[in-house]
Amino acid sequence: MRRAELIFAAILAAFSIYLMYMAQIPPLQIGWVPKKGPGSGAAPFWLSAGMLICAIWIFWRGWKGATPQGRSTEPFMDSYTTKMVAVTVGSIFMMFLATHFIGAYAAMFLFLLFYVGVFGKIPWPTTIAVSIAIPVFIFFLFESGMKILLPKGMSEPLFIPLYKMFVY
Amino acid sequence: MELLSHLMDGFSVAFQPFNLGMMALGCLLGLFMGAMPGLGSVNGVAILLPITFFVPPTAAIIFLAAIYYGAMYGGAISSIMLGIPGASTAVATTFDGRPMALQGKADFALVAAAVASFVGGTISVILFTLFAPPLADFALRFGPQETFALMVLAFATFVGLGGDDIPKTIFMILLGLVLATVGLDNISGRPRLIFFDLQGFYKGISFIVLAIGIYGIGEMLWTLETSRGKVEIASNKFTFKRLGEALKELKRAWKTMTFSSFLGYFVGVLPAAGATPAALMAYGLAKSFSDTPEKYGKGEISGVAAPEAANNAASTGSMLPMMTLGIPGSPTTAILLGGMVIWGLTPGPLLFIEQSEFVWGLTASLYAANLVTLMMNLALIPLFVWVLRMPFMILAPLIFVLCFVGSFAPDTRMFDPWLVLLFGFVGYVMRKLDYPLAPLVLAIVLGPLAEDSFRQSLISDQGDWTPIFTRPLSGIVMGCAALLFVAPMLKGMLRKNKAKAASGEQS
Amino acid sequence: MTVTRRSGFGLGVAGAAAFAIAGAMPAAAEWKPVKPVEFVVMAGQGGGADKLARFIQSIIEKNKYAEVPFIPINKGGGSGADALRYLKDNQGNDHVIMATLNSYYTTPLRNPGIGVNIDEFTPIARLAEDTFVLWVNSNTDIKSVDDYVKAVKEKGTAWKMGGTGSGQEDSLVTAMLEKAYGIKETYVPFKGGGTVAANLVGGHVDSTVNNPSEAIGFMQAGKVRPLASLTAKPIEELKDVPTFKSLGKDLVYRMQRSVVAPGGISPDVAAYYVGVFQKVFESTEWKDYCKKNALQCSMLTGDDLKKYFADEKASHEALLKEMGEIK
């Protein structure tokens, strides 16, 4: 935990410097424009400078052990947590990626099938019911109710008859 | 007395069976839209606007206003049950609403939110009836300087809200303010902080994306970790007895609710502000003036009641500049405004005189919509509680899917869900390391307003910043902000001294 | 009387436009959308362009001008950069169209980074042009443009002109005014036209160049006063207000309200959409709307519209260069 605290503070400091660099690329001005007040880069630049100071301060406090995280000797993530986070973030990542190809509904279905059934170890009949019910619910709420079209990818042709029935 | 007869005429309009039906339908639709993260009154009103061309204007505005109202109530539901603020106005509701739900008191929190919304709505509609035209004139006196002062005041109220770690709290506020500047600058029209030249950043980072990422995914990961996947939100069956107990507990928050309603209404009336700073200030002030501020953030019922009363009052308030000045206080009122124009009503100073039947019909329907939504909300609590009792390994992926579609919906682009995932992961790491998340989310909401109004006032005053302090109105607001800044510190010092004295006596 | 003249004019133009596309009409029957059409709006929810797009959508829906719903999608981010980019990425997509405003020209010019060239898009129809008028608060003594110029010269750069974001329409109009009269003002950018008008009434700025629809309510309440309009002919709803042209300065600026489609769609598809918007233009709802909001409504399609876009783009480029906003 202590190492994570210090490394994260260092990353934040680096990120602040990157933001400061981004905020001063011309034509953004970080100084005081006469009669106009601060330039358009001023707010992000000086606020990022403040972030940098805070990040250093956080690092220093962590180093001295002034925060509970700075003193903690527990590992940042135990094996259960690592697995849980990796599976969750990974499967959501795959769902988004799949959306670009097979569309949101198919991606959602696969995600639910995996997360509820395989990872959550919920009995399969329930899993399948949930994996079908949720996308159907979302279709009716978003497409026919709110007229918000979710991406369909290559599954588009399947939806054309559904539009006729529910969206018009 | 003229007022009363106007209002009576209004009620006779509002209680026509057809209008009443439209109102009930609108409330119900709004409630569900508001409860869905990513969707809100703005979607509902925008989508349903065309439908209203088939009904008379008065019925149409009643319907849309009911959706608006219902969604304001509904925003709290998502905050309490899922921990995801569905709209920026409901951020403050999560502070205590979520802890209450985790303690198995979700129904109490929902009752508190519904009742507080009702109180806020009703008080504000009464104020609306009594003081619409003079307040409209007052609102006009708010220029950029005053708006900036108001933002400072909003920031001052949440100084006390962060964690105990000062550098981390400041860091998060600053990060929120910087993320708010991403995209095209409103004042100069230039692009700022376009990371890796990605087109998606031109639009900026919206509140909803950050909130869904941090609360929907980040907090959910945290919950999964701490509970090892075995979350038990032990909720009792919601019965009349529970309702009675909840109301009893809520009784001690009545002062907070009343005060928050007044506050919310006045903040809502100001053209630039709206319901988010109102809810925030209400929460901050409730905490500052409470005898037991340490209970806030850990499931204090007043902490749910204060922001909910304020945000509902503010949404009524923001209808006032819309109708009397033609300035929308929020995107939703902007669409309502568009609707009024299309129906052939001209919002503006003359609306109250020329279209009094319409105005009073609407006012009366606001009274009624409040009552209808309260009833509906209470009736639906058992359903919401039932959802919470689902096995967590079904509830969690359901929330992830809702995060996905909810973040996609506002701008219909895949860029936003990807950002949500990134913020979710970073937010989770930050949560683990005790970085407070609420200041970040609030800073991204208030940041653009604060920066724009600051620069507008400097441009109009030729680079001179003193008018922010010397103009009478903004001076007063700045003074209040300064007091608020100092108050928690003074109070904290006093308490520390007391505690020291007490521990001294003990030892 | 003015009304009859007006509607006569409208009908004449509509007739001409109908004639112009008559050749393409039979083809329109050959292509029909098979799914909901995305109607992209270059502005956020609640803005002027958004209200207009939703109004058009409601006309289409109410009168059943199309077989499928037109679904407004707001992509207002980055002064429309998001919408422009979306249209480019949907090259060849038959089910996307976009409602435009003048940021259609200025945003790609000011942000070459988004990589959009509007010449690639397919013009569908121009439905209207919005006008600009110079306004002051009515508690001042300024009654004419001459008074105005005198007052600005006295006050110097402390004179505050309110408007929408820098580089957007209002700032261009202000730059034109400054140049024509040899004056210098401080331009204060706000978020939307409604806020600008309210700041004028509240006395936080000294003048604005609001669209009539944004300020007419305040005028009727006696809070603001129009001085002159930036139109070729006087605006009917403000008939006592002179044009800058009649005062000897060639100041004309208009905000186009058009519809475009992505590039790479077939002529049949374009013809279908032209047909739909032709019906919108001829509807009584649209005519009433034009009148109420003091819009100048005339329809332009096909090559005429293409030429119109090219001319406007060139003149905006010149304007922006003059202001030093682009190189």
Is C166 an interface residue toward A (CB < 8 Å)?
no
State the pLDDT confidence band at A160, using cuts at 50, 70 and 90.
Answer: confident
pTM: 0.84
Q: Do A126 and B394 touch (CB under 8 A)?
A: yes
Chain centroid offset of residue B428 CA: 24
Length of chain C: 327
Residues in C closer than 8 angstroms to A156, CB to CB, are 35
Q: What's residue C45's pLDDT? A: 67
> Could you please report the per-residue DSSP string of B35-70?
HSTT--HHHHHHHHTGGGGGS-HHHHHHHHHHHHHH
Domains C2-130+254-323 and C133-238 share a fold: yes
Across the range B240-266, mean pLDDT stands at: 87
Q: Mean pLDDT of all residues in chain A?
A: 88
How many Å apart are CA C235 and CA C252, to the nearest integer?
Answer: 12
Q: Do A54 and A97 share a domain, yes or no?
A: no
Output the CA–CA distances (angstroms, integers) from residue A116 to A110, A139, C57, in the order listed. Answer: 10, 20, 41
| Percentage of chain B lying above the pLDDT 90 cut | 13
Q: What's residue B232's pLDDT? A: 59
State the pLDDT confidence band at B163, using cuts at 50, 70 and 90.
Answer: low
Nearest CA in chain C to B139: C202
List, for residues B165-215, the tens digit of each pLDDT value: 788 888 999 999 999 999 888 777 778 888 888 878 888 888 888 988 998
Distance in Å, alpha carbon of A165 to nearest chain C alpha carbon: 11
Contact C200, C209 (CB under 8 A): no
pLDDT of residue C133 exceeding 90, the answer is yes
Q: Which of C199, C286, C326 to mutate to test the interface with B (most CBs of B within 10 A)?
A: C199
Q: What's residue C326's pLDDT? A: 78
Across the range A99-106, mean pLDDT stands at: 93
Q: What's residue B73's pLDDT? A: 83
Of C209, C189, C195, C192, whose CA–CA distance to C49 is shortest? C192
Q: What fold characterizes domain C133-238? A: D-Maltodextrin-Binding Protein; domain 2 (3.40.190)
Is B69 an interface residue toward A (CB < 8 Å)?
no
Domain-ending residue, one of A36, A71, A106: A71
Is B194 an interface residue toward C (CB < 8 Å)?
yes
Q: What's residue B486's pLDDT? A: 77
List, for residues B357-413, the tens digit of each pLDDT value: 778 878 888 888 888 889 888 888 888 888 777 888 888 898 899 889 988 887 788
pLDDT of residue A14 exceeding 90, the answer is yes
Q: Do A61 and A84 share a domain, yes or no?
A: no
Q: Do A161 and A91 share a domain, yes or no?
A: yes
List, for residues B314-324, the tens digit of each pLDDT value: 888 888 877 77
Is B188 an interface residue toward A (CB < 8 Å)?
yes
Residues in A closer than 8 angstroms to C68, CB to CB, are 163, 168
Residues of the domain holding A156: 79-167
Residues in A closer than 8 angstroms to B34, CB to CB, are none
List, for residues C187-210, the tens digit of each pLDDT value: 888 877 778 888 898 889 999 998
Is C98 an interface residue toward B (CB < 8 Å)?
no
Contact B28, B376 (CB under 8 A): yes
- A96-131: string of b/e by CB count within 10 Å (b at 16+)? bebbeebbbbbbbbbbbbbbbbebbebeeeebbebb
Q: Do B463 and A12 touch (CB under 8 A)?
A: no
How many Å apart are CA B50 and CA C318, to the nearest integer?
Answer: 40
Q: Do B202 and C77 touch (CB under 8 A)?
A: yes
Q: What's residue B234's pLDDT? A: 56
How many Å apart are CA B130 and CA B136, to the nearest integer?
Answer: 12
Q: Do C77 and B187 touch (CB under 8 A)?
A: no
Q: Subunits with at least 3 CB pairs below 8 A relative to chain C?
A: A, B
Nearest CA in chain A to B418: A96
Length of chain B: 507
Contact B91, B40 (CB under 8 A): no
Could you say which residues from 105 to 144 on chain A have a Cβ atom under 8 Å away from some Cβ of chain B?
A: 108, 111-112, 115-116, 119-122, 126, 130, 134, 138, 141-142
Tally the domains of chain A.
2
How many Å apart are CA B168 and CA A12, to the nearest integer?
Answer: 11
pLDDT of residue C21 exceeding 60, the answer is no
How many Å apart are CA B361 and CA B170, to the nearest integer?
Answer: 48
Nearest CA in chain A to B425: A89
**The token pair that represents C314 in the structure block:** 């060139």
Q: Do A160 and C38 touch (CB under 8 A)?
A: no
Q: Which of A162, A164, A165, A166 to mutate to test the interface with C (most CBs of C within 10 A)?
A: A164
Which residue reads 């510190």 in tokens?
A: B489
Question: Does the ipTM exceed 0.85?
Answer: yes
Contact A10, A58 (CB under 8 A): no
How many Å apart are CA B116 and CA B309, to the nearest integer?
Answer: 5
Amino acid at B99: P
Across the range B446-450, mean pLDDT stands at: 86
Residue B4: which H helix or E strand, with range?
A: helix B2-14
State the pLDDT confidence band at C156, using cuts at 50, 70 and 90.
Answer: confident
Q: CB count, 10 Å around CB of C138?
A: 17
Contact B153, B415 (CB under 8 A): no
Is B341 an interface residue toward A (CB < 8 Å)?
no
Q: Do A160 and C34 touch (CB under 8 A)?
A: yes
List, for residues C161-176, the tens digit of each pLDDT value: 998 877 788 888 999 9
List, for residues C55-74, the tens digit of each pLDDT value: 888 888 888 888 888 888 88
pLDDT of residue A113 exceeding 90, the answer is yes
Q: Do A91 and A143 share a domain, yes or no?
A: yes
List, for residues B57-95, the tens digit of each pLDDT value: 778 878 888 888 888 888 888 888 888 887 778 888 988
Of C96, C107, C92, whose CA–CA distance to C33 is shortest? C96
Output the CA–CA distances (angstroms, integers) from residue A60 to B165, B426, B436, C2, in the order listed. Answer: 13, 21, 18, 77
| Percentage of chain A lying above the pLDDT 90 cut | 48
Domain-ending residue, one of A71, A104, A125: A71
**The token pair that represents C57 in the structure block:** 């959508």
Is C327 an interface residue toward A (CB < 8 Å)?
no
DSSP state of A139: I
Length of chain A: 168
Q: Mean pLDDT of all residues in chain B?
A: 82
Q: What's residue C16's pLDDT? A: 42
Amino acid at A62: G
Could you say which residues from 386 to 415 on chain B have a Cβ atom under 8 Å away from some Cβ of chain C?
A: 411-413
pLDDT of residue C48 exceeding 80, the answer is no
Q: What's residue C17's pLDDT? A: 42
Which residue in A108, A120, A141 is closest to B393 by CB distance? Answer: A120
Give whichever of B15-19, C41-45, C197-201 has the largest mean pLDDT: C197-201
Q: What's residue B177's pLDDT? A: 93
Q: Do A94 and A124 share a domain, yes or no?
A: yes
Answer yes or no: CATH 3.40.190.150 is held by domain C2-130+254-323: yes
Q: Do A163 and C36 touch (CB under 8 A)?
A: yes
pLDDT of residue B12 exceeding 50, the answer is yes
Q: Do A65 and A104 share a domain, yes or no?
A: no
Across the range C66-92, mean pLDDT stands at: 83
Q: What's residue B500's pLDDT? A: 61
Across the range B325-333, mean pLDDT stands at: 70
Across the range C3-24, mean pLDDT stands at: 40
State the pLDDT confidence band at A29, using cuts at 50, 70 and 90.
Answer: confident
**Domain residue limits, chain B:** 2-142+154-187+214-465, 466-507
**Domain residue limits, chain C:** 2-130+254-323, 133-238
Across the range B121-126, mean pLDDT stands at: 90
Top pLDDT among B341 and B300 is at: B300
State the pLDDT confidence band at B465, using cuts at 50, 70 and 90.
Answer: confident
Output the CA–CA distances (angstroms, integers) from residue B360 to B12, B30, B64, B318, C14, in the order listed. Answer: 10, 22, 15, 16, 41
Q: Which of B48, B64, B184 to mutate to test the interface with C (most CBs of C within 10 A)?
A: B184
Q: Do C204 and B341 touch (CB under 8 A)?
A: no
pLDDT of residue B422 exceeding 60, the answer is yes
Q: Do C36 and A149 touch (CB under 8 A)?
A: yes
Which residue in B178, B181, B433 is closest to A8 by CB distance? Answer: B433
Q: Do A122 and A96 share a domain, yes or no?
A: yes
